[in-house]
Amino acid sequence: MRRKLAAGNWKMNGTSASLAEVEALNTAHPTAGVDILICPPATLLSRLSGVAGPAIATGGQDCHAAAAGAHTGDISADMLLDAGASHVILGHSERRADHGETDGTVHVKTVAALNAGLVPVVCVGETEVERDDGKTLQVIGTQLAGSLPDFAGIDRLVVAYEPVWAIGTGRVPTLGQIAEVHDFIRATLAERFGAAAEGMRLLYGGSVKPSNAAEIFAVSNVDGALVGGASLKASDFSGIIAALEQAA
Ligand code: PGA
């Protein structure tokens, strides 16, 4: 059985005051029947890792492919680990759009993260135009092929399906559309990685809220969620965690 995962992506949000949200989560979830992950901005990672209770893991939102060196503004996988992280989000559509990250970029970063011992959360997802053109599965197949490396121990890697048009918009695919993509991702991973694919968790991301979480978590091959806006407030994220515990 794959353990469910509720992952929060704070994006470029949060200052010292936001640590209170983590303290509230600690109180609400001293233990949890699912894995809980918070990926704050890098400026908060070390302090948040210190504050997070035993049920809450922390992660970065990106890492560089190199271990160290002349890369101003970048952060290596080892640095994330040193700051208390166990996970790292890679290839988020906002990184792909804002920083021109390609599947090749995501591939080398994923290798770096795995080598450092981090759990990569690799994001894939189609734009609205690609969906309207009937290219969703083709796009996701290409992203998976290019972004994921062949790596012993790949089963700890997490894939997040995030339709670009559903991120931060309040629009969510139908449950049938989510099922179609998640089943496709599982089959694609199985074809490439064999038995290891059974251990890889598949998250849905894009406008997940406490009010729609339960129905999404009931969809086949959905092992949790990657949550942006609704992860910023402990009360909202807690509702999503509770829905995932119900589904576990
Ligand atoms: P959202 O973001 O929950 O605010 O739609 C999801 C994400 O981008 O990870």
SS3 readout for 71-129? CCCCCEHHHHHHCCCCEEEECCHHHHHHCCCCHHHHHHHHHHHHHHCCEEEEEECCCHH
> Does residue 167 line the site of ligand 1, with CB under 6 A?
yes
pLDDT, tens digit, for every residue of 19-40?
999 999 999 999 999 999 999 9
> Does residue 229 line the site of ligand 1, with CB under 6 A?
yes
CA of 142 relative to ligand 1 center, distance in Å: 22
pLDDT, tens digit, for every residue of 97-121?
999 999 999 999 999 999 999 999 9
CA of 21 relative to ligand 1 center, distance in Å: 18
pTM, entire model: 0.98
Are the CB atoms for 9 and 231 separated by under 8 Å? yes
Please pick, among 21, 94, 126, 162, the residue that the annotation labels catalytic: 162
Q: Is 162 a catalytic residue?
A: yes
Amino acid at 103: D
CA of 69 relative to ligand 1 center, distance in Å: 31
pLDDT, tens digit, for every residue of 191-223?
999 999 999 999 999 999 999 999 999 999 999
Q: Is 101 a catalytic residue?
A: no
